Amino acid sequence: MQVVHTIADLRSALAAHRSPAFVPTMGNLHSGHLALVQDARRLGDVTVASIFVNRLQFGPNEDFDTYPRTLAADCEQLKAAGCDVVFAPSEKELYPEPQGFTVQPPTELANILEGHFRPGFFSGVSTVVLKLFHCVFGSGPGTAVFGQKDYQQLMVIRRMVSQFAMPIQIVAGPTQRAADGLALSSRNGYLSEAERAEAVHLSMTLRGLAREALAAADALPQQREAMEHRAMSALAQRGWKPDYLTVRRRADLQTPTLEDTRQANRLVVLGAARLGGTRLIDNWEI
């Protein structure tokens, strides 16, 4: 496995390959990331992972400075998973000057849910992903694998690739979960032992909301807000600070219509909530 730190060395390492499969990460890897690498190995002629903590997607009061940087351990895991090339640029390498050009996703997708509570997040994500795509693929074809846990992010990236006519296939890797159902996340490492035991209740509450939405059928448009309020109140009573727990349309994350509710596989439940000092997200497709 090659570990490269410059764009020039990355392009040199990939020069002989025609169809890279790429997994972008911020490091501090867990088995969910490694499952994406395993997916990527089946999709291209060379498997590439990036490790870069992207300042542009962190808000002023978020954890950019304290986000764990574990490059050596990450590289060991990636090597064991069969990754071929690791791209681990410095901030100066990827942003040699202030990034004045940025990607601004459409507001109807980027300013709701995560984007409402983390202003500018999806612009930061889209900008770095576009730049990484150019580093890895140039103008050629390839495949990129993203985890479905970041449901809205996956949708934003798919929309960006489509609208910019990039010859890149976006593949969704299923959310990887611990034995108790907690979605794996690098931020789970922030949880205390007691918080870790409690954390599974986000997943459990979302699954309960999904069951309630499925059972409501034609009444969902009238009952949805009350269902969401009950789910958020249930978490709050356990000591959480919920940002949102909601039932949305899969296609665009907008409020579902009666037609959507009559076809259950058009819906998804999504949630974000803070437990102590840690903010967790999760989702379940109905």
Give me the active site residues, please. Answer: 33
- Start-end of H helices in the chain: 7-14, 31-41, 71-81, 91-94, 107-110, 114-117, 121-137, 151-163, 193-216, 220-237, 258-261
Strand 278-285 to 267-275 pairing:
antiparallel
User: In sequence order, which residues have a C-beta less than 8 Å from that of residue 61 and are 6 or more positions away?
Assistant: none
Instruction: With beta carbons less than 8 A apart as the criterion, state whether 40 and 162 touch.
Output: no
End-to-end CA distance of the chain: 39
CB 49, CB 22: distance < 8 Å: yes
Measure the CA–CA gap between 79 and 58, rounded to whole angstroms.
28
Residue 62 Cα distances to 29, 57, 255, angstroms: 19, 10, 28
